[in-house]
Amino acid sequence: MKYVRCNACGFVTDEKAVHGKCPACGVNSTAFEPYESRVSERREGWLRLDVHPILVHFPQAFIISLFLLLVSSRFFGEPVLGAVLACARVMIVVLPALVVLAIVSGLVDGKVRFRKVTTPALTKKLFIGIATAALSAAMVAVFLAQGFAATPVLIGLSAGTVSCSVGLGLIGASLTCSKLPG
């Protein structure tokens, strides 16, 4: 694969993907220059699959949606309330598994991208990911013990997972284009 880099925005892509304009910023394709990837084809292939970024979107969507459902449930009457709580119930129960999948895929992605998972940013992400898993597991425990009678507690735990999700997203966004050569 032959790579090119946009001089205007730094976007790197296969030269076959450039059709007159930069797909990222829209400048004329004359702004592109040849780019030599210093990452092995095998590692590039894995990273191009974007397994971790894709798997991260599921718990993030659940985290935000669950928080909004729990908060809004205070304002709905039947029959809407029943539907809202049914959705929240599924999300509460499934969320811990999604968080664990995101953590595992993050460990694999970190190992492929940086060859180790003990870098400062990845260590922070792992710590916050474990906190997210703990909060989501606590939501399941509270829900199983008290159901929606504990909605204020569930909202608090959910707000904690939202905070963790924001922290993870900010750190992750700063790492998306990083990878060690070789």
Q: What is the pLDDT of residues 50-93, one digit of tens each?
A: 898 899 999 999 999 999 999 999 999 989 999 999 999 999 99
Work out the average pLDDT over 6-26. Answer: 88
Find out whether 46 and 112 touch, Cβ atoms under 8 Å: yes
CB contact burial 82-101 (16+ within 10 A = b; e otherwise): eebbeebeebbebbbebbbb
Instruction: Give the percent of the chain with pLDDT over 90.
Output: 63
Distance from C-alpha of 164 to C-alpha of 155, rounded to nearest angstrom? 14
- Distance from chain centroid for Cα 26: 26
pLDDT category of residue 43 using cuts at 50, 70 and 90: confident
Neighbour tally for 12: CB within 10 Å: 13
Nearest 5°: phi and psi at 12? -115, 130
Domain borders along the chain are 3-36, 43-175
Beta-strand ranges (E) seen in 11-129 are 12-14, 32-35
Work out the average pLDDT over 123-128. Answer: 96
Q: Quick check: pTM over 0.85?
A: no
Distance from C-alpha of 136 to C-alpha of 43, rounded to nearest angstrom? 32
